[in-house]
Amino acid sequence: MSDPHLTARHLDEGAPPVNLTDEPIELGNRDPQAAPERTPAAGRRRRVGIAILAVLALTGAGALGAWGWRIAEQKDTQIATPDQVAGLTRDDSERAVSTADYLRSGLAADIELDTSFGAVYQDPADARRSVLLFGGTTLLWQPERDLESLFGLMSDETGAVAGLRDVSSGRLGGVMKCGSTSGEGGDFAVCGWADHGSVAIAMFPFRPVDNAAELLRQIRETVQTRN
């Protein structure tokens, strides 16, 4: 950048020339085909750059491999609804079956699934604490996104699920989230899981979120199997 004050200065024609060096100063007359000189510092920078690229490539390949391995492990999932699960008993009354079928059908209408399921389980210790479980199986590329979409569909029907947060998904992996929503008699917990082969939601009237999360992990351990 030029200095604006320089244009206002006048050269002193009477001043003697200033000798910078006795040797000629080369600016642009070097042989263009001559190989550039590499200083030790430049060589070190180049080696470091190559090493960083190699590490990034290996890290990316490792992440992709782990993702592919999870898909291969989880994609072939089956869900059953046994008579007994986690101390609960499946309710086969007409009302319970109708409710479970309604939930299952609503889910299948909004999310493309290979199979869908729905069941109501009764707590022998307290009839008010029944568990409504519904979901389905299919190959899911982004389980967390699909689980959040399912919570969104629930919000459209029952009101927003508040306080949604991640909880431990247990041995079967994937992602599990819990929150709460309002229903007849007050708030109740809502939890769900999703992996690369299945997605499910469960509603837990008259149970706190932490208790519901633990119960859903136990239920999942029983109802979900993989090839």
User: Does residue 177 belong to any structural domain of this protein?
Assistant: yes
Calculate mean pLDDT across residues 52-73: 57
- Number of domains observed in the structure of the chain: 1
Residue 175 CA: distances (Å) to CA of 1, 11, 70, 139: 58, 77, 12, 15
Domain span holding position 88: 77-226
User: Does residue 62 belong to any structural domain of this protein?
Assistant: no
User: Does residue 123 belong to any structural domain of this protein?
Assistant: yes
User: Does residue 30 belong to any structural domain of this protein?
Assistant: no
206-210 long-range CB contacts below 8 Å, 24 or more apart?
206/126, 206/128, 206/129, 207/129, 209/163, 209/178, 209/179, 209/180
User: 0.85 cut: is pTM over it?
Assistant: no
User: Does residue 18 belong to any structural domain of this protein?
Assistant: no
Q: How is residue 130 written in tokens?
A: 């029944």
pLDDT over threshold 90, residue 107: no
User: Does residue 200 belong to any structural domain of this protein?
Assistant: yes
Within 13 Å and on the Cβ side, how many CA atoms surround 1? Answer: 3
CATH code: domain of residue 107: 3.40.1000
Given the structure tokens 């979901």, which residue do they identify? 135
| pLDDT tens track for 161-178 | 889 999 999 999 999 999
User: Does residue 147 belong to any structural domain of this protein?
Assistant: yes
CA–CA distance, 184 with 167 (Å, rounded to integer): 25
User: Does residue 178 belong to any structural domain of this protein?
Assistant: yes
Maximum pairwise Cα distance, the chain: 114
C-alpha 94 chain-centroid distance: 39
Mean pLDDT (the chain) is 77
| pLDDT tens track for 126-157 | 989 999 999 999 898 889 998 988 888 776 55
Would you mind telling me the total number of residues written for the chain in this entry? Answer: 227
